[in-house]
Amino acid sequence: FEDSFNQLSSKTASQLKGKLSVVFQGEDGVDAGGLTREWYTIIAREIFNPNYALFIPAATHNVFQPNPNSFVNSETHLQYFRFVGRVVGKAIYDGHLMDARFTRSFYQHILGKELSYKDIEAVDPEYYKNLEWMLSNSIDGVLDLTFSTEIEHFGETRIIDLKEGGRDVPVTDANKKEYVKLVAQMKMTKAIEEQTSSFLEGFYEVLDKNLISMFDASELELLISGLNEIDVSDLRSNTEYFGYSSNSVQIQWFWRALNSFDNDMTARLVQFVTGTAKVPLEGFSALEGMNGPQKFNIHKAPKNDRLLPSAHTCFNQLDLPEYSTYGVLKDRLVLALKEGSEGFGFA
């Protein structure tokens, strides 16, 4: 990691776009492509090495996001993020795949797209539950909150205003949507602003930002990490049902729809529910959730043809409304998988 960092950090943007030739110290061999692939594999592993403290696993442990406390390990941590951005950008530029899976919110940062407060579920599911409860219930006289939040910095607790004078502004039913928007922005954007900016500086030294902005988060993940060939029969054999049974007509329609999808759309479904399109080497029986092994599971949602399916990636959970026809179910499912970023807003 350090050797590669030192080598690539001295390269100009135009030099980075040239052919990469890898030589491992103490080893003979001409790089005809195999050494480069091996190098990307090793670098991807080191990027997420906890000893470097650059990235931390999200709640599902399958995907990663920048560590807001990355400074604890090195004064050059932001230079490391620029290096990582260069490496990931170079991999895309050269058509090499990396085993590097990030949170949906970080893909949105790369693409320059706004986030929804719902994206915080993959990062901190308990906090997301608290925000959802706030939005669904009256908090006047119940919660004593202000437009501020606490952060830990070298063991010291600091109060950060979410807006000017925020620590003196109480959160009420009238302004709680604004609070949720601002606190989510703080946790998912401002807390890692320096790390993200440094990553993007390196990333866009290699790639054209206008071209990358054409992709959505799902497509960007596949561009970086590639596409697994997804075995739908294995997924079906390792799915649990709550409120439905394997014989429920909506479940039969669901699998019928899934079998009609191409591999790209199936990957979107897996990503939508689990947070990543990557399937464990052992298959879907080895799926992990925030609390350990957690199978893909489908929960019955209220009967309403206007509702879209929703997901809880920390639990590999799909909430599937009790649709009236196969056509409605497939249309709603496809729309949910293809819809763009909600932005920081509320329906």
Q: What is the pLDDT of residues 97-139, one digit of tens each?
A: 788 889 888 999 999 888 888 888 878 888 899 999 999 999 9
Rounded to whole angstroms, the Cα distance separating 261 from 227 reads 14
pLDDT of residue 73: 76
Rounded to whole angstroms, the Cα distance separating 6 from 49 reads 18
pLDDT of residue 41: 78
Count of beta carbons in the 10 Å neighbourhood of residue 343: 12
pLDDT in tens, 315-340: 889 999 999 999 999 999 999 998 73
Count of beta carbons in the 10 Å neighbourhood of residue 279: 19
pLDDT of residue 294: 86
pLDDT of residue 35: 63
Axis crossing angle, helix 176-188 with helix 125-136, rounded to the nearest 10: 170
Catalytic residue selected from 314, 320, 329, 333: 314
Q: Which residues of the chain have pLDDT under 50?
A: 30-33, 340-347
Q: Which residue has the tokens 């090793």?
A: 42
Strands 292-293 and 156-161: unpaired
Query: Which DSSP state fits 292?
Result: E
CB–CB of 276/331 below 8 Å?
no
Query: Which DSSP state fits 155?
Result: T
* pTM of the predicted protein model: 0.68
Rounded to whole angstroms, the Cα distance separating 318 from 330 reads 14
Concerning whether 314 is annotated as a catalytic residue, the answer is yes
Count of beta carbons in the 10 Å neighbourhood of residue 208: 10
Rounded to whole angstroms, the Cα distance separating 186 from 157 reads 16
Q: How far is CA 174 from the centre of its chain?
A: 31
Q: Which amino acid, residue 202?
A: G
pLDDT of residue 341: 33
> Three-state DSSP class for 239?
strand
Structure tokens at 223: 């561009």
Average per-residue pLDDT for the chain: 85
pLDDT of residue 186: 87
CB–CB of 219/268 below 8 Å?
no
CB–CB of 226/219 below 8 Å?
no
Alpha helix (H) ranges present in the chain?
2-9, 13-16, 34-47, 77-94, 104-111, 125-136, 176-188, 193-206, 209-212, 217-225, 232-237, 249-260, 263-274, 326-338
pLDDT of residue 20: 67
